[in-house]
Amino acid sequence: MPVLSRDYTGPACPRCHARLTSDWIQTGMVICPDCNKPFEAMAFQPRQRSIEVVTVAAALTPEGANACANHERNAAVTNCSRCGLFICALCNMDIGTGPYCPSCFDRLRNEESLQPAATRYRDYPSMARVAMIAGLFFSFMFLGIPFAAASLYYARKGFKQLRAEGRSVGWLVVTMVFAGLEILGGLTLIIILIAGVVGAKK
Amino acid sequence: MTPPPRTLLGRHATVMTRERIYETPDAIEVESREGYEVSRKRVLFEEVLLVTFHRGIGWAYVISLGVTGLLFGSLALSFLISARAPIPAAVFGVVALPFLAAAIIRLVWKLDFVTVFGRRSKAVMRFSLHKRRAREVYERICARTAEVQRSPEAPQSEPA
């Protein structure tokens, strides 16, 4: 489910969220023209992104250059590392994971194979923790074992996630230890129960 | 590929989402959590247009806590005055106190907000008690943005 948020339309008053026109984007103490309340601001003028595209005709090699698969007038600068297509600077989707053509980039992003491009994911460490705590609460109903199993499953996925992000796995280890104890406790409870039933029959 | 190291700058929580804001070498990273879904967006330093700092109260928070505190407080008073029952009055009084205290603390201390507006997204951080930290974060973001946008590696001309 998408995170609910206002559509972003550019700099606005941080108090009343009224859009600020370029006249009001300035450094110093600014009084919002809408709510008349002050805020401190530091304005910047970022440069535009530029991509240098070389045409096939202007390519400096004697034989010319290979044309981009998507833009026949543009000279290719590299190959897509997945499909091998010749791509120009405009088509080169490189986010530090190697050059990809736009369609391969889209596909890999949808498959969540490109970690730096991932903008949405599940918080498996939290899921593992909640399943472990639920297991503790419901252990008296013999539900500790399934909850602990779910916790271990999520923890396994959480490990991969945290390692990929270079974050500490300390809490996840604690969660796994507790989940293990829940399983042991649950099994012990079942064994005691069975032993009690068998003992009563004798 | 290991992602770049990041430093926690601040938090911003609303009714629906909780956000944690980090600084990475090239961007401010906002992680929004809604249940178990985490969405991540970045405000690149090279695209920052405006960084603002202001102090506010957050009236919705104060009013909701104040009303709840007054509700329990009035129950405590009514038990004390009309029913002359000090124990229930004390219980309701104790329940009312944290709500009223939180509302008063907010009115006195207020909230510091640091907002970073980029070309395509923004990041908001709020600081309740750490006023010095809020100022530090504001200045740090401004300095880092200026540094990145000054550097020769930053993009220099209009797209072809």
User: Does A119 sit within 8 Å of B1, measured CB to CB?
Assistant: no
| Strand-pair partners of A51 | none
pLDDT tens for residues B15-46? 778 888 999 888 999 988 888 888 888 899 99
User: Does B154 sit within 8 Å of A46, measured CB to CB?
Assistant: yes
Tell me, what DSSP letter sits at residue A139?
A: G
User: Does B156 sit within 8 Å of A40, measured CB to CB?
Assistant: no
pLDDT tens for residues B42-92? 899 999 999 999 999 888 899 999 999 999 999 999 988 887 888 888 999
User: Does A122 sit within 8 Å of B51, measured CB to CB?
Assistant: no
d(CA A66, CA B125): 49
Q: Which of A12, A46, A164 sits opposite B48 (nearest CB)?
A: A46
Structure confidence at residue B113 (pLDDT): 93
CB-CB neighbors (< 8 A) of B17 in chain A: 3-5
Q: How far is CA A11 from CA A69, A76, A144, in A?
A: 38, 37, 51
d(CA A110, CA B80): 64
User: Does A119 sit within 8 Å of B40, measured CB to CB?
Assistant: yes
State the count of interchain CB pairs (< 8 A) between A and B.
127
d(CA A56, CA A53): 10
Q: What is chain A's mean pLDDT, rounded?
A: 84
How far apart are the CA of A51 and the nearest CA of chain B, in angstroms?
6
Q: Which of B5, B50, B121 sits opposite A166 (nearest CB)?
A: B5
How far apart are the CA of B155 and the nearest CA of chain A, in angstroms?
5
Q: What is the mean pLDDT of residues B87-99?
A: 91
Q: How far is CA B33 from CA A111, B22, B57, in A?
A: 21, 14, 24
Residue indicated by tokens 């994911």: A121
| Strand-pair partners of A38 | A31
Q: How far is CA B113 from CA A39, B12, B125, B137, B139, in A?
A: 10, 9, 6, 10, 13
pLDDT over 50 (residue A160): yes
CB-CB neighbors (< 8 A) of A55 in chain B: none
For an interface test with B, give the residue of A3, A90, A157 to mutate (most B CBs within 10 A): A3
Chain A residue nearest residue B55, CA to CA: A39
Across chain A, which distance is largest between two alpha carbons, in Å?
A: 98
Secondary structure, 3-state, B57-103:
CCHHHHHHHHHHHHHHHHHHHHHHHCCCCHHHHHHHHHHHHHHHHHH
Structure confidence at residue B159 (pLDDT): 39
User: Does A3 sit within 8 Å of B39, measured CB to CB?
Assistant: yes
Chain A residue nearest residue B37, CA to CA: A122
Residue ranges per structural domain of chain B: 7-53+117-150, 59-109
Chain B residue nearest residue A160, CA to CA: B2
Contact B91, B75 (CB under 8 A): no
Q: Which of B36, B40, B56 sits opposite A15 (nearest CB)?
A: B56
Structure confidence at residue A8 (pLDDT): 85
Question: Dihedral sign, CA of A131, A137, A140, A141?
Answer: negative
Q: Please state, as a whole number, how many other Cβ atoms lie within 10 Å of the Cβ of residue A43.
A: 19
pLDDT tens for residues A96-113? 778 899 999 888 888 777
Q: Which of A40, A97, A121 sits opposite B52 (nearest CB)?
A: A40
This model of the complex carries an ipTM of 0.79
Cβ burial of B50 (10 Å; 0-12, 13-18, 19+) is buried
